[in-house]
Amino acid sequence: MSRSGAAADLYLMMNRMLRRVHGRLAIATVAGNTVFAEVVGVSLA
């Protein structure tokens, strides 16, 4: 994902969507990791 630039695009999209929310860095990080886990197929359950 990092070679294609998808990770950076995902992070920038989340940052723009959450511009007015306090703690948006933490939210964007968790959301980005969630999407990455879906793509890779990792499950905690």
Cα distances from 12 to residues 41, 43, 44, in angstroms, run: 23, 25, 26
* Whole-prediction pTM: 0.55
> Quick one: pLDDT at residue 2?
60
The predicted-structure confidence for 1-45, as pLDDT tens digits, reads as follows 567 888 788 778 877 888 888 888 888 788 878 878 888 887 765
> Quick one: pLDDT at residue 6?
80
Burial 4-41 (b: 16+ CB within 10 A, else e): eeeeeebeeebeeebeeeeebeeebeebbeeeeeeeee
> Quick one: pLDDT at residue 45?
53
> Quick one: pLDDT at residue 1?
58
- Counts for the chain of helices (H) and strands (E), in that order: 2, 0
